[in-house]
Amino acid sequence: MKVLYIGQFSEGTTSKMRADTINKLLRPKIFEVIDTHIPFFKTKKFFRSIGFRYKIGPLISTVNSFIIKNLKTSNYDLIWVDKGVFITPKTIKILKERTAKIIHFTPDMAFYANRSLLFNKSIKYYDYLITTKSRELNFYKNYVAKEKVLLTTQGFDKRIHKPYHTFEEKDNAIVFIGLAEPSRLKIAEQIINQNLTLKLVGKGWEAFVEKHKGNENLKFIGEAIYSSEYSKLISSSKFGLGLLSKMFPELHTTRTFEIPACGTILLTEVNNETLSFYSSSEAIFYNDIDDLIDRLIYYADHDHELKEMTHAGYLAVQEKGYDYESIILALLKKIHAL
């Protein structure tokens, strides 16, 4: 079997985790990777910004030239494209001519955030399109037959996302890793104003951090954290915030599974997807900011209950098949790649 994976292959990315899992499960004779992070970071910062926002300019031509140049095999049994927002229809058509099956996977919104006219024009060439966003299913079905669209969940990597601390070793703190958004700024403000410790990682928090400079309740770790250090940070805290974006209608995120996999209780909004993943004894659900704060204050003073819920959440995420290996295995069966 000959497999080609096209996507970001940098250490710590969820796309590399998927690639490694595909390789492990299929064990193909040939497994080639075209790492789109290479041409991305070789492009000047200004053109990266233009390309990322508008999907035009030197970044697009550089990425597509890189893909075509690095095609080593004349025919593949499977080509898996991960987050193909920079890839032109012309390139996808060339790829389709070299394979029996071409798949697109994205864990992101494709028609709200990360929308790409290039992707929209390429959809018809894919044999299957895999998404984690239930709110976008109807958008996909405007382009292709519903049989070609597969819905799955986000997930976690058992090799990386795991507990590094016992419950007793954890700090009485809340951790959040993600971009700053207006709704998240309000939550962060409320947490530290309640004399609760917040460990924060992500981009766009500069003004917030400066505003609260000297506040001992705020621990800003930095703009990014990866791999085992990411998991260790989550594991070191009693509470993990799985905040959903309000910039687009997502109902769960990778943190929905990574936090309990690291042995930390998940705090998440109530919606039909989060309720389908966990019971109220496996995660802390909240309706609004006030409800979130009330629950944080309550469980911060009820260690025994919190410990039981934390353990139940860890068992749930392990046993219900939300790890990448279980998810990818199910997908490979659906696309008849096994």
The Cα–Cα gap between 210 and 5 comes to: 42
pLDDT of residue 12: 87
213 and 139 in a common domain: no
330 and 253 in a common domain: no
pLDDT of residue 113: 80
The pLDDT tens digits along the chain (338 residues) read 999 999 999 998 999 999 999 999 999 999 999 999 999 999 999 999 999 999 999 999 999 999 999 999 999 999 999 999 999 999 999 999 999 999 999 999 999 988 999 999 999 999 999 999 999 999 999 999 999 999 999 999 999 999 999 999 999 999 999 999 999 999 999 999 999 999 999 999 999 999 999 999 999 999 999 999 999 999 999 999 999 999 999 999 999 999 999 999 999 999 999 999 999 999 999 999 999 999 999 999 999 999 999 999 999 999 999 999 999 999 999 999 98
What are the backbone angles phi and psi of residue 59, rounded to the nearest 5°?
A: -60, -45
Sheet containing strand 149-151, edge to edge, reads 30-35, 2-7, 78-82, 102-106, 128-131, 149-151
pLDDT of residue 200: 98
Is 173 among the domain residues? yes
228 and 97 in a common domain: no
192 and 70 in a common domain: no
287 and 210 in a common domain: yes
Predicted TM-score of the model (pTM): 0.95
Q: Give the CA diameter of the chain.
A: 63
Contacts of 289 (CB under 8 A, 6+ apart): 186, 187, 190
Are 188 and 241 in contact by the 8 Å Cβ rule? The answer is no
Are 267 and 242 in contact by the 8 Å Cβ rule? The answer is yes
298 and 328 in a common domain: no
The Cα–Cα gap between 277 and 244 comes to: 15
53 and 74 in a common domain: yes
The Cα–Cα gap between 305 and 14 comes to: 32
The Cα–Cα gap between 329 and 187 comes to: 37
232 and 312 in a common domain: yes
| Residue positions counted in the chain | 338
- CA-wise closest residue to 7 among 91, 63, 49, 62: 63
Is 28 among the domain residues? yes
Which of 162-175 are b and which e, b meaning 16 or more Cβ less than 10 Å from the residue's Cβ? bbebebeebeebbb
Q: Give the distance, in angstroms, between the CA of residue 260 and the centroid of all CA atoms in the same chain.
A: 15
pLDDT of residue 259: 98
Are 201 and 177 in contact by the 8 Å Cβ rule? The answer is yes
129: helix, strand or coil: strand
Q: What's 110's domain CATH number?
A: 3.40.50.2000
pLDDT of residue 114: 85
Range of the domain at 121: 2-155+323-334
108: helix, strand or coil: coil
Phi-psi region of 222 (alpha: psi -120 to 50; beta: other; left: phi over 0): left
Q: One-letter amino acid identity for 157?
A: D
